[in-house]
Amino acid sequence: MSSAQGQARQIFLSGLIIFLPLMVTYLIVAFLVGLVTGPFERFFEALFHEFKIVTHGVWIFSHDEVVHGAARTAILLLLAVGLVIIGHIASWMAIRGIISISDRVLRSTPFISKIYSSCKDFTDAIFSPKSGSFSQVVLLPFPSRDTLGVGLATATTHTDIMNPNGDELVSVLVPGTPNPTVGFLFLLRKQSLTYLNTPANEALRYIISCGACLPQVPPLPILPPASPQQEQK
């Protein structure tokens, strides 16, 4: 009896191993898509109803579900095309003027200015051309001098606090586990860091999985990159 039970359990488990990653992927992707398409959904569904593009359900999906799915797909496609077009025309002089004017207006609107400038700082940081920013994986002494944490070196800066001739400090982002949207930001001397050859996405995978997914290539220390010339103002 117990062996039959054990076998059933085995079968269920192996099914689960195949099914769960699919389910989790679906949930996360659906959440992200919903986040992006959310504000436009009502409008597009109204359009679909207005012009009677879809008139009845398909297969097991009801009419509403088909409209919903079609609206989402249309929004995603239009957004992708729209982004490419905006990116394309953003380099034209006239458009650039408009963008900088709208930027200034948003930055001087009382309540909105703080939110907008924070959001802009964040996206600028992520997409900035210097964004070798988030690619260097380091080990740092964290939270005490005898333990190590995994972090991403984001930028270097100068300070004259410890030593009047000036020191170079590296900003290190230590992402939280398993949710990397909460993290720590520390400043350390380059000598206290161990630079690794691991690519950033593998390090992030390692962190998000709470250490369960190992990097494919065993991490090895490498020489720190040469310090960039003082580009700060």
Footprint of other proteins (CB under 8 A): 39, 42-43, 46-47, 80, 82-88, 90-91, 99, 106, 112, 115-125, 127-128, 130-131, 133-134, 140-145, 154-155, 157-161, 169, 171-173, 176, 181-189, 192, 232-233
Residue closer to other proteins by CB (options 180, 199) is 180
Residue closer to other proteins by CB (options 58, 115) is 115
Nearest approach, Cβ of residue 51 and other proteins (Å): 12
Question: 194-196 and 136-141 as β-strands: parallel, antiparallel, unpaired?
Answer: antiparallel
Nearest approach, Cβ of residue 73 and other proteins (Å): 18
Name the residue with tokens 């080990």: 139
b/e code 206-222 from CB counts within 10 Å (16+ = b): bbbeeeeeebeeebeee
Nearest approach, Cβ of residue 202 and other proteins (Å): 19
The tokens describing 27, both together, are: 């949930």
The tokens describing 53, both together, are: 């593009």
Residue closer to other proteins by CB (options 9, 42) is 42
The upper half-sphere exposure of residue 115, i.e. CA atoms within 13 Å in the direction of its Cβ, equals: 4
Residue 71: is it exposed, middle or buried by C-beta count within 10 angstroms (0-12/13-18/19+)?
Answer: buried
Residue closer to other proteins by CB (options 59, 127) is 127
Tell me if residue 98 falls in helix, strand or coil.
helix
Residue closer to other proteins by CB (options 20, 90) is 90
Distance CA 108, CA 120 (A): 14
